[in-house]
Amino acid sequence: MVSSDAYPYFDRNHGSRFPIRLMTHEIRSIKSKRFVGICRGGTGVAGPGLIAQVVVGKFGDHLPLYRQEDIFVRHGLHLARSTLCDGVSAAADLLEPLYNLQRKLVLESAVMWTDDTPVKVLAGGDEGSRLGRFWTYVGDDEHPYSVYDFTMSRRRDGPQTFLQGFRGYLQADAYGGYDAIFLNSGSDITEVACWAHARRKFFDARANYPREAHHRWNGFSSYMTLKIEAVNYLQTCAASCVVLKPTRFWIGSMRISKSSH
Question: pLDDT tens-digit profile of 127-173?
Answer: 788 899 999 999 999 999 999 999 999 999 999 999 999 999 999 98
Nearest to 59 by CA among 25, 95, 26: 95
Give the integer Cα–Cα distance in Å for 74 and 107: 44
Helix, strand, coil distribution of the chain in percent, nearest 5: 50, 20, 30
List b or e across 127-148, with b for residues whose CB sees 16 or more CB atoms inside 10 angstroms. eeeeebbebebbbbeebebebe
Examine the pLDDT at 100 and tell me if it is beyond 90. yes
Question: pLDDT tens-digit profile of 38-52?
Answer: 344 456 677 888 899
Tell which wins on pLDDT, 100 or 226: 100
Residue 129 DSSP symbol: E
Determine the Cα angle at 212 with ends 211 and 217, to 5°: 105
